[in-house]
Amino acid sequence: MIAYKRRLATYPAPYPNGWYKVASSSDVAIGQVIEAECLSRRFAVFRSESGKVSVLDAACPHLGANLGVGGKVVGENLVCPFHHWEFDGEGKCAHIPYEDKVPSGADGTTYCTREWAGQIVIWFDAEKRQPLYEPPIVPELQEGAGYVWRGTYQQEVQMHIQEFAENAADFQHFDPLHGRMCLPFTQIEIPGITINHDPEWSCGTIAKGPEKDTHLSWFKDKASLNFCGKLIPRTDAKASISIIGQAGLVIFRFETELGDICLFQSHRPIDPLRQSCEFSWCAEEKMPRLLVWYVVGNWISQWQNDIEIWENKDYSSKAVFTRNDGPMTKLRRWYKQFYSEHSKEAGLGTNLQW
């Protein structure tokens, strides 16, 4: 615990402002409520009879019963399992069975919620502002696009969410950590095969004005394979990654000769320095399933190569960068927009113990 607190103290506030996944859409059927943990909080996630998803703080404002465990959905409302107080999707206490009038202060806390790319996401903001941006439209998921869902994967990592965003701009770690080919979804290296990387990073402007992409950053990588030091022909692959806001939501696009893949990665901070990293992916229907498995599995293997570093490093706020380190300084300046005046307090004022 001492080591954890010391390491945590080196980082900025644990929960930068932005969109976070709390559950998958398929986790919550009509008329169902589940409990979800995120941001050191417990949430009650429910889908009303009309199909609308709402997310409330799980603790009932009456006597603290967990609305997500034993609660019931009745019409458009969520009913507390303890005294049957009812809350609508906006958190308003709609009915108390033994009172004619609902007293002030009886409302629950609700969060701005969207369903996006098969995920239930909430807006978190330390200043309690309305969303500053929306998750982007994904053309691959529009009707008639020809993409089908192919798989999911989940793994917990003891890290701060900012580390993933910084990883995209840290060009000099690619060869040491991502220069070897592994078997898909494993850390088993394939002898003799190495990977060449040609990375790029850019971000939305941080200038004041009406620009709509200030919250976005992009990473592109053109990779090819060598065998025993010699380039293997026709092994070029392109990846384009859109990092949405603070990196709560990420879209990967992979281009191959036989079709394209769209992978969604989310970082759900359960506690400070503990992320549930979740992946789901779809591909063009014409694309062979084995190839989809191979491409996605290779990406996840490379992502896993970073985990040991992430889980054991401190945040160096006064890092010494060289001119060949990549655009790390620019990224850190850009990323500051996701912290605000009360970010530290919002990370500590929680309804979970940690």
Residue 46: which domain range? 25-111
Strand pairing of 147-157 and 189-203? unpaired
Mean pLDDT of 62-69: 98
Residue with tokens 């998958």, as numbered in its chain: 24
Edge-to-edge strand list for the sheet holding 110-111: 33-38, 41-47, 53-57, 110-111
> What pLDDT band is residue 352 in, cutting at 50, 70 and 90?
very low
Residue 348 confidence (pLDDT): 67
pLDDT score of 166 more than 70: yes
Please check whether residues 295 and 151 belong to one and the same domain: yes
Residue 190 confidence (pLDDT): 92
How far apart CA 335 and CA 199 sit, in angstroms, is: 19
Please check whether residues 82 and 222 belong to one and the same domain: no
Tell whether 129 is covered by a domain.
no
Please check whether residues 167 and 219 belong to one and the same domain: yes
pLDDT 10s digits, 213-267: 899 999 999 888 888 888 888 788 889 999 999 999 999 999 988 999 999 999 9
Tell whether 119 is covered by a domain.
no
Question: Under a CB-based contact definition with an 8 Å cutoff, are residues 203 and 216 in contact?
Answer: yes
Tell whether 281 is covered by a domain.
yes
Tell whether 130 is covered by a domain.
no
Neighbours of 321 (CB within 10 A): 14
Question: Under a CB-based contact definition with an 8 Å cutoff, are residues 91 and 110 in contact?
Answer: yes
Please check whether residues 147 and 242 belong to one and the same domain: yes
- Sorted by sequence, the CB contacts under 8 Å of residue 259 that are 6+ apart come out as 283, 284, 286, 287, 291
Residue 220 confidence (pLDDT): 94
Please check whether residues 174 and 30 belong to one and the same domain: no
User: Minimum mean pLDDT among 173-187, 195-209, 325-339: which range?
Assistant: 195-209
Continuous segment of H or E residues that includes residue 287: none
Residue 212 confidence (pLDDT): 63
Mean pLDDT of 66-74: 98
pLDDT score of 270 more than 60: yes
pLDDT score of 206 more than 70: no
Residue 234 confidence (pLDDT): 79
Neighbours of 1 (CB within 10 A): 5
Residue 351 confidence (pLDDT): 46
Q: What are phi and psi of 164, to 5 degrees?
A: -65, -45
Please check whether residues 155 and 212 belong to one and the same domain: yes
User: Minimum mean pLDDT among 130-134, 151-155, 253-257, 331-335: which range?
Assistant: 253-257
> What pLDDT band is residue 353 in, cutting at 50, 70 and 90?
very low
How far apart CA 283 and CA 294 sit, in angstroms, is: 12
User: Minimum mean pLDDT among 115-119, 133-137, 223-227, 231-235: which range?
Assistant: 231-235
> Is 0.85 surpassed by the pTM of this model?
yes
How far apart CA 335 and CA 162 sit, in angstroms, is: 8
How many structural domains is the chain composed of? 2
pLDDT 10s digits, 8-36: 999 999 999 999 999 999 999 999 999 99
pLDDT 10s digits, 291-312: 999 999 999 999 999 999 999 9
Please check whether residues 277 and 178 belong to one and the same domain: yes
pLDDT 10s digits, 176-190: 999 999 999 999 999
Tell whether 131 is covered by a domain.
no
305 by Cβ neighbours in 10 Å (0-12 / 13-18 / 19+) ranks as middle
pLDDT score of 210 more than 70: no
Please check whether residues 218 and 100 belong to one and the same domain: no
How far apart CA 324 and CA 174 sit, in angstroms, is: 13
Tell whether 16 is covered by a domain.
no
Tell whether 63 is covered by a domain.
yes
CA–CA–CA angle 270, 273, 275 (5° rounding):
45
User: Minimum mean pLDDT among 84-88, 109-113, 220-224, 231-235: which range?
Assistant: 231-235
Tell whether 19 is covered by a domain.
no
